[in-house]
Chains A and B, each alone.
Chain A
Amino acid sequence: MIRDETVKLDLKPAGGPSERPISIAIVAMGGQGGGVLTDWIVALAEDQGWIAQSTSVPGVAQRTGATIYYIEMMPAGLGGRRPILAQMPTPGDVDVVIASEYMEAGRSILRGIVTPDRTVLIASSHRTLAVTEKMAPGEGIADNGAVADAVHIAARRQIVFDMNAVAIDHGSVISAALFGALAASATLPFAREAFQGIIRQGGKGIQASLATFDAAFDRAMHGAPPSEAPPAAAAAKLPERLADRRADALLQTLRATLPQEAHDMAFLGLKKVVDFQDAAYGEEYLSRLADLHARDAAAGGTDHGFAFTVEAAKHLANAMVYDDLIRVARSKTRTARRDRIRTELGVRAEQIVRTTEYMHPRMEEFVSAMPAPLARWFLRHRRFYDWANRRIDKGRRVSTYSLRWFLALSLLGAMRPTRRWSLRHQTETRHREDWLSAASGALQTNYALAVAILKFRRLIKGYSDTHVRSLSKFNKVMKTTQTIADRDDAAMWAGLLLSAAVKDASHDSLDGAIRTIETIR
């Protein structure tokens, strides 16, 4: 047993921590309805004869920033004495925290207002991404797992589910769902009917609010209805045979030439490249992949679960499916697209939907789509090039489903067979082969590095200038990796370079990583 060395004074208690009010903090983003919820809770308490007080600091945060509303409530004392209520939450002394967004729930834990001895955390699990998460030129989304782990140790009890979805399903806003979850939490000594009564006193959308309240209440009490359970992630089994003769031939080649591990990915890749061009392009994909697989096997790929082949199946498909005018035209004219847009917008049959595309093609795009000799001629004759560019290089508002534009786009899409002779195709093929030979070159000496190099393909994206910038990033990463290719930990560094490049639009953190690598070289 540990010795207790606390100084014990021989004194009578000056008084215990006396009764304190019930405290509720609402953490939200400006404009998310935190004010409405606050008003409801105050009205509820007052309706039940309690004394309640709310405060907030709207200020600039009302423009989408993180903000907090705070409520305290307590019955009047003997002889109707009014309690003195605090104006802001004290860390470690909050009974209920209501978070209207998942990262805001995380922020409330960082503020210290969610503590294991006291706090019931009611949070919606949906995410509204912060600007910094969206800005990254790749995946930059914050880690939900960090919040989940922290909630686990910080909250006395948690009620967490997607309350935003519940609200949307019932045609209302999240405040009604949060109010329902609060009622279900039984943290306030008021009956469900009292909560509903407050909503009824409101002005607009009472029915939708009540439906949302009820749905959230039930969900908080009984958990998710069975239908909402996530579907078992049954891996899409590769089909045995396909009805389409050409597709089936490709499928059988795939089965015959590639290891089991790569089947699923290769099938996805195959569909993508065939959709981009034609069956012959699919054959090309499979044969290039089979060749890479042979090298993989020679380098002991069996021990690695043929990771190289799997990565190649993914990134080779992406590399072969480059973004050009023809692809854009085809995707804009697909049958499925218009249906998708109608569904997304919830359009009824009698309504008409029209779309306008914001396109800005330049001479560069047209030239690169031309047969290589003609394209080179244009590039050599700047005067013609500039003359044409002056007519082409401007923003165009394309009304997709007008006769004129739909025909034009279809015509452009129909130019698909000419793609293989284009300058762009030559450029892309050359670039792709350089990358693949760098990757397979590393296979013999450093398997992990070879896989890492394949993954660099992820950096190439965008159109026009963005595409050019992404290429330069790719080149930087590639060049730096080659300088350390002989190190055993080269793959680790390559991974670091890749994630620096994915997360940062300015080259700052990438350049930082490169400088670090230069020092270890």
Chain B
Amino acid sequence: MAERSFAREVEHLRLGAGDIFRGEGILAITKALLQAGVSYVGGYQGSPISHLMDVLADANDILDELGVNFQSSASEATAAAMLSASVMYPLRGAVAWKSTVGTNVASDALANLASGGVTGGAMVIVGEDYGEGSSIMQERTHAFAMKSQMWLLDPRPDHACIVDLIEKGFELSEASNTPVMLQVRVRSCHMTGSFVARDNVRPAFTIADALNNPKRNLDRIVLPPAAYEHEQEKIRKRLPAAIDFIRSHRLNEFFGERSGRTGIIVQGGMYNSLVRALQFLGLSDAYGDVRLPVYVMNVGYPTIPDEVEDFCRGLDAVLVVEEGQPDYIEQSITTVLARAAVAAQVRGKAYLPMGGDYTAAVLTKGIEAFLEDFDPARLGNRPPKPDVAPLMASPAIARLKEAVPARPPGLCTGCPERPIFAAMKLVEQELGAHHVSADIGCHLFSILPPFNIGATTMGFGLGAASASAFNVKAEKRAIAVMGDGGFWHNGLTSGIGNAVFNKHDGVFLIVDNFYSSATGGQDILSSRALNKRRKTNNSIVDAVKGIGAKWVRQVDRTYDVTRMRAVLREALTTKEEGPKIIVASSECMLNRQRREKPKVAQAIKAGARTVTARFGVDEEVCTGDHACIRLSGCPSLSVKQLDDPLRDDPVASIDNSCVACGNCGEVADAAVLCPSFYQADVIHNPTRWDRLKERLAAPVIAFLQRRQDRRAICFEA
């Protein structure tokens, strides 16, 4: 079950011709796929693509009606390989993932696909996770499109434009026998907007048709001599066909007045920021009436030489607005103009930064400088631009900079991974620091305060693999951490299998929280929930044993910090050879609460005996050292200042968001911290037996308490 339910939004997918579709960009993309008549869809979740996968998972009924086969792919490579269905058959298919990380994983399959070419339209939707808020390395998908020769669509951030380009993209793919990539940036995926819907299309040729009438053609397989022929085909047939299609269907757009000596060439995705920047410079209004010629490249690759030449002829200079590096488009345009001997000068990164977000502020500065040099009259009387420099220079802001603490993401309240890292921290206190290879997933938050555990991360599912080199006899062993998502993505073979085969002596910790949690709680092979459409409940322990691991320990309640620590200690010190594998399992608390909370509320309302729990801190006992927080970082465990002049430091305090996971108490016990923590159980609708027990103890307790009170010296006036 995914973190967010799209049951309501899914209904929008049924809209027909003329209806207005409203919603997030990623939903618009999903609707566009149905309008384009896809036969199959796959992909791997990850921001900003997760919602597309979640919507499709919630849209089973509609997909069934349309005869669309939806697969949650095991990895991006699996998804890319799925597109092979479009090689021989006139089937339209789309797959989606987070890029560039997903494209890295998929690139082997993509290269093979692009070499042989496709018959049915094949589209890869990549969520370009670049710039502010990104969780990955800063690279561009553009390079993959160029190297494998796949067309790269980069639509303007406008639902209608994106939807249109998806439908056209399938036609382009078919017209040029080439797979197509559609790149959407994070903000466009989460952008709200609307477009006029068309009817969904049920594919005329179905997957069943293909299965019943199998076809093969040796020419389409990447083996010599066909592989050499593919290269020639790419050059002689597919590229010209694509250029033809893109020109004749006007996928790229021209805006603005055809006047003056300068123009701007912009990536489709950068268009909105460009318009705002031009508005600041007095060169556009809010509706995109720009006073310069603008060429919008909704197709980032290939460059269409004729269009570029026509646009630039007669201009002194053009500015290329291209986010990220290297400057592939700027280079391409420079080459086109040089070959055609068009005199216009090409500028881009000379005025705009090589890397980083192209915000409206950045573009304003760059365009202004460009126009200063090439066409200053355009800037007119230079209307005032937003300028925060004077404010930022004031001493109060300098003091604020000192005060505001960083707020990195962290593990949620009650997260079952917290006690694992608390245990690792305690083992570190006993046995010293170890080399820790981290992986991708929620568990990567361990690299931040308060845990500060983990030295490297080499990619999803590669935590175990990245400890490979550390397989020599030494005083200490390497520890590799990997989540269940990464484990099934590739870690079982690339990490565990590899370690078994090479007799690796390290410790391999698999964090099993029953979902692909970091991407939004999607089900995976080892999920414990029952999923009608998928086979879940496949044990990680069985898998690692099946691949040959001998030393395997399962901790079935990660909150047992003492046991967690003992298992880690044993793994780090045992004389046994081969990989030491620990599977630490407890359900993702976010998912668990979403399921349990309504049930508990209902049970209480219905009068059933129900126990709810929360942790608390005895202020009098807490000394305000906060050692507990340094082993936790739980959002519900905070500190508060007491109204007591005798005490200088704030004490620990637990707020009502506590879900009583038990970590505080367990850590206090395992680390022998202090007796301040208590768990308070509230029995709702107590039974007669509960009340009887209470009645038996009450008089004795009351007697003892009264006695204590009576003997106390009273300072009340």
Contact = CB atoms under 8 A, between A and B. Distances in A.
Interface of A: 9, 11-21, 29-31, 42, 46, 52-67, 74, 77, 81-88, 90-93, 103-104, 106-107, 109-110, 112, 115-116, 128-139, 141-143, 146-147, 149-150, 152-154, 239-244, 246-247, 251, 264-265, 267-272, 274-275, 278-279, 282, 314, 317-318, 323, 327-328, 330-335, 337, 341, 344-345, 347, 350-360, 362, 395, 400-403, 406-407, 410, 413, 458, 461-466, 470, 502, 505
20 contacts: A11-B377, A13-B380, A15-B283, A63-B411, A64-B411, A83-B288, A90-B280, A90-B359, A109-B397, A128-B635, A139-B650, A146-B404, A153-B391, A270-B715, A354-B680, A358-B665, A360-B670, A464-B672, A505-B626, A505-B630
Interface string B629-648: 11001010111010011111
What are the 10 closest A-B residue pairs judged by CB atoms, nearest first? A14-B380, A92-B386, A57-B133, A65-B409, A358-B665, A146-B403, A461-B623, A395-B669, A112-B388, A239-B717
A150 B396 contact: yes
Given A15-B282, A55-B187, A60 B518 contact: yes
B378 interface: yes
Nearest to B403: A146
Interface size class, chain B = 35 or more
Contacts of A14: 282-283, 291, 378-381
Contacts of A335: 705-706, 708-709
A362 B681 contact: no
B275 interface: yes
A85 B410 contact: no
B597 interface: no
Contacts of B411: 63-64
Interface in B597-652: 614, 616, 618, 620-621, 623-627, 629-630, 633, 635, 637-639, 641, 644-650
Given A59-B129, A279-B713, A463-B623, A149 B400 contact: yes
Given A13-B381, A466-B627, A131 B410 contact: yes
A362 B671 CA distance: 12
A462 B651 CA distance: 11
Contacts of B626: 134-138, 505
A417 B668 CA distance: 29
B672 A465 contact: yes
A84 B271 contact: yes
Contacts of B705: 333-335
A351 B282 contact: no
A30 B409 contact: yes
A41 B47 CA distance: 24
> Per DSSP, are chain A's interface residues mostly helix, strand or loop, or mixed?
mixed
Given A31-B412, A413-B708, A407 B700 contact: yes
Nearest to A92: B386
Residue among A55, A58, A282, A331 facing the most chain B CB atoms (10 A cut-off): A55
A377 to B, nearest CB: 24
A20 B700 CA distance: 73
Contacts of A272: 646
A77 B381 contact: no
A59 B135 contact: yes
Contacts of A109: 397, 400
B49 to A, nearest CB: 11
Contacts of A355: 616, 678-681
Contacts of A63: 409-412, 442, 445, 518
B282 A352 contact: no
B395 to A, nearest CB: 9
A132 B406 CA distance: 8
B104 interface: no
Contact of A132 (B405, B618, B623): B405
Given A67-B133, A135-B630, A357-B678, A461 B669 contact: no
B361 A107 contact: no
A149 B396 CA distance: 6
Given A106-B403, A358-B678, A458-B648, A129 B673 contact: no
A265 B645 CA distance: 7
Nearest to A267: B715
B16 interface: no
B696 interface: yes
A202 to B, nearest CB: 12
Interface string B186-209: 111011110000000000000000
Given A86-B272, A134-B637, A142-B403, 19 more contacts: A64-B411, A65-B409, A88-B273, A92-B361, A131-B408, A132-B405, A135-B630, A137-B627, A139-B649, A352-B691, A354-B680, A356-B679, A403-B700, A403-B701, A462-B625, A462-B674, A463-B674, A464-B673, A466-B627
Given A15-B380, A134-B626, A354-B680, A403 B696 contact: yes
B580 to A, nearest CB: 25
Given A14-B378, A350-B686, A461-B649, A150 B400 contact: yes
B272 A87 contact: yes
A14 B405 CA distance: 44
A9 B381 contact: yes
B286 A275 contact: no
Nearest to A111: B388
Contacts of B134: 59
A120 to B, nearest CB: 16
Contacts of B645: 264-265, 268, 314
Nearest to A90: B360
B402 interface: yes
A351 to B, nearest CB: 5
Interface in B158-213: 186-188, 190-193
B237 interface: no
Contact of B672 (A268, A362, A410): A362
A356 B403 contact: no
Nearest to A457: B648
Nearest to B133: A57
A357 B713 CA distance: 27
B162 to A, nearest CB: 13
A337 B686 contact: no
B445 A147 contact: no
B575 interface: no
A46 B23 CA distance: 12
Contact of A15 (B291, B400, B449, B635): B291
Contacts of B285: 15, 18-19
B546 interface: no
A138 B649 contact: yes
B284 interface: yes
Interface string B49-76: 0000000000000000000000000000
B680 to A, nearest CB: 5
Contacts of A351: 682-684, 686
